[in-house]
Structure 1
């Protein structure tokens, strides 16, 4: 890893619970089909809240309303033959509306599904990363931070 070019990848994820079931996506990855919370990368000019709303809609067709920040996570992946990658993940919890059945899902998403904690816990080999369970455990433990815990400074606005 070259420290002069190292940049962490910023991602967001959404935890949505309904009736004891959690909204997940099954997606194509380099390791095969994996389960994940709706998640994706922060894009240029976006706030973290805008990103989690967009990613959840793109991956599940469900409109998402964030209610709290569950946690911030850092993980480092090294794969043989490729450069190591560091991810900073901001996981939010909230509510999702009904899916837009006319909306196509992101190309890598095979399907959305609702799973119980026990079902998800029973298949760790299918999780995209260990963060899938860690974020859910933190959510179930009641970890919540207000949405304004993370401040977004908009470029072009004068500071007070």
Structure 2
């Protein structure tokens, strides 16, 4: 194995919709309020679905499961860090209360698609792209991702 082996960070994000609003979390990056979908890194010994559920609960206090796969993104951040991001859709019948359990999250917001797409303070370009992708009708079944433990 060579030292230049590609080792991307694997992350999951959830585009959560209820009553035509979308759940966003606000955190401080370099002291500035920044918006992201509930998202985070895959931990050892968990599936993508378990990781998505865990991150959603930690960052928002909501217990929900991914319902479909929206997109898989490969992205290299401006600092050269490579990411593979699995983005899931969750549609809820009504807006639930939120309570972040992650101290890095300042608050949760329910915003319109337009507010997100045009927000100047998104965590990465994947936030906007995931929102635009959600607005398209295509969804992939979760069965496209097979877990072997």
TM-score normalised to structure 1 length? 0.83
Match of 1:67 in 2: 67
Q: CA RMSD in A?
A: 1.8
Mean alpha-carbon deviation: is it higher for 44-53 or for 90-99?
90-99
Which residue, out of 106, 115, 118, partners 1:119? Answer: 115
Match of 1:140 in 2: 135
After superposition, where does 1:11-26 map in structure 2 within 5 Å? 11-26=11-26
Match of 1:40 in 2: 40
Match of 1:158 in 2: none
Q: What is the distance in 1 between the residues matched to 2:134 and 2:31?
A: 26
Q: What is the distance in 2 between the residues matched to 1:12 and 1:62?
A: 16
Displaced runs of 4 or more, over 2 A: 95-101
Structure 2 gap ranges (5+): none
SS of 1:52's partner is helix
Q: What is the distance in 2 between the residues matched to 1:69 and 1:122?
A: 23
Structure 1 gap ranges (5+): 155-160
Rg: which structure is higher?
Answer: 1
How many residue pairs get aligned? The number is: 145
TM-score normalised to structure 2 length? 0.89
Match of 2:101 in 1: 105
- Residue 100 (structure 1) shift: 6.5
